[in-house]
């Protein structure tokens, strides 16, 4: 390792820092300032302060939005990690005559979010594939009998999970490829069932990657915009959709509340990651990085 002085470090990081400064840095700064009623298009009522935040905290509508976003983020992350881990472990040691078959799990990764939402509509919508199947099996007589799961909270969770399962597999495949498979033979020789081997031998090896996938998905899916905008509905909408609707259709005096909601999304992300690193350090005795 070469030692670098502060000047050398700064020179190497300067292009990145400049870009971040004019985009995220300035943008984040303006977002926070406007949430305080500073730099707003029209002067905030009652001057600068935290009134937008106190208004949000007392707003039942916002809390419903917040609950919707956080549960959608957590549920989709849980579903993704559970599904991704199960599939990864089931097919990990199946040999493929064509390696391309084993790479097919990456297909949902390249689907843009808005396409994932569209896929949920054609798969889970009332006129979609699942509804047709349930009609064939005699479970539902008409389209209207099929539950409307493609829209709203369930639709959002399904769309995020469609991509999340692939993402989890991508994350854990790296750990699996480094896994010493002789441990599996040892476990079998000692009489462990495949399930027990999976739970006590393989799972600990992929746990850090799976946990990282969970945290990334829970945070990202909390504040994501494209999918809830398309199929999430608006009464109440997820926090991001609620804030953007207020920005586009609300009064110009509501700007501090819009920006306060966006700041809440950021704080949620920071708090979630911080809580995770704290807990994982307590449990395992060492810090984990995302």
Residues 25-84 that bind another protein (CB under 8 A): 26-32, 34, 39
Query: Are the CB atoms for 213 and 80 separated by under 8 Å?
Result: yes
Q: Is the Cα torsion angle 226, 158, 239, 210 positive or negative in sign? A: negative
- Torsion angle in degrees (nearest 10) through CA of 212, 121, 268, 88: -10
Identity of the residue, 3 or 282, whose beta carbon is nearer to another protein in the bound complex: 3
Choices 54-62, 171-179, 189-197, 218-226 (CB under 8 A): range interacting with another protein:
218-226
Comparison of 34 and 65: residue with beta carbon closer to another protein: 34
- Residue 91: DSSP 8-state: H
| Sign of the dihedral through C-alpha 197, 215, 91, 100 | negative
The span of 99-107, 186-194, 199-207, 278-286 binding another protein (CB under 8 A) equals 99-107
Shortest distance (Å) from residue 83 CB to another protein: 9
Near another protein in 157-176, by CB under 8 A: 162, 166
CA separation (Å) from 233 to 4, 30, 81, 165, 265?
52, 28, 25, 24, 19
Nearest Cα neighbor of 211 from 277, 285, 113 is: 277
**Comparison of 145 and 185: residue with beta carbon closer to another protein:** 145
Which residues from 119-158 bind another protein, rule CB under 8 A? 119, 121-123, 127, 129, 131-133, 135-136, 143
User: Segment 180-199, which members bind another protein (CB under 8 A)?
Assistant: none
Nearest approach, Cβ of 186 to another protein (angstroms)?
A: 24
**Ordered alpha helix ranges (H), 36-190:** 51-57, 60-91, 99-102, 107-110, 113-124, 129-136, 152-177, 182-189
One of 164, 223, 236, 237 touching another protein (CB under 8 A): 223
- Tell me which H or E stretch contains 214: helix 203-223
Rounded to a whole number of angstroms, the minimum distance from the CB of residue 64 to another protein is 19
CA–CA separation, 38 vs 143, rounded Å?
A: 51
Candidate segments 9-17, 48-56, 173-181, 278-286, binder of another protein by CB under 8 A: 9-17
Q: How far is the CB of 73 from another protein (least distance, A)?
A: 10
Is the distance from CB of 136 to CB of 52 less than 8 angstroms? Answer: no
Looking at beta carbons only, is 24 or 186 nearer to another protein?
A: 24
Q: Rounded to the nearest whole angstrom, what is the least distance from the CB of residue 68 to another protein in the complex?
A: 15
């Amino acid at each position: 390792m070469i030692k670098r002085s502060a000047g050398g470090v700064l020179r190497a990081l300067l292009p990145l820092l400049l870009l971040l400064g004019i985009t995220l840095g300035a943008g984040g700064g303006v977002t926070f300032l406007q949430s305080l009623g500073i730099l707003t298009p029209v002067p905030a009522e009652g001057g600068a302060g935290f009134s937008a935040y106190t208004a949000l905290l007392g707003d039942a509508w916002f809390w419903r939005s917040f609950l919707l976003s956080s549960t959608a983020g957590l549920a989709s992350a849980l579903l993704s990690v559970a599904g991704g881990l199960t599939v990864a472990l089931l097919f990990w040691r199946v040999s493929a005559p064509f390696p391309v078959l084993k790479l097919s799990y990456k297909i949902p990764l390249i689907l843009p979010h808005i396409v994932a939402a569209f896929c949920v509509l054609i798969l889970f919508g009332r006129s979609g594939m699942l509804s047709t199947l349930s009609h064939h099996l005699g479970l539902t007589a008409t389209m209207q009998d099929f539950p409307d799961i493609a829209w709203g909270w369930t639709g959002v969770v399904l769309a995020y999970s469609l991509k999340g399962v692939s993402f989890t597999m991508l994350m854990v495949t790296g750990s699996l490829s480094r896994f010493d498979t002789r441990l599996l033979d040892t476990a079998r020789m000692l009489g462990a069932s495949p399930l027990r081997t999976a739970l006590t031998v393989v799972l600990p090896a992929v746990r850090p990657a799976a946990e990282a996938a969970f945290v990334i998905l829970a945070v990202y899916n909390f504040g994501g915009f494209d999918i809830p905008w398309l199929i999430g509905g608006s009464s109440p909408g997820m926090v991001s959709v609620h804030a953007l609707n207020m920005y586009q259709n609300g009064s110009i005096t509501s700007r501090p509340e819009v920006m306060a909601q966006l700041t809440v999304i950021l704080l949620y992300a920071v708090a979630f990651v911080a809580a995770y690193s704290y807990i994982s350090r307590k449990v395992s005795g060492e810090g984990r990085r995302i």
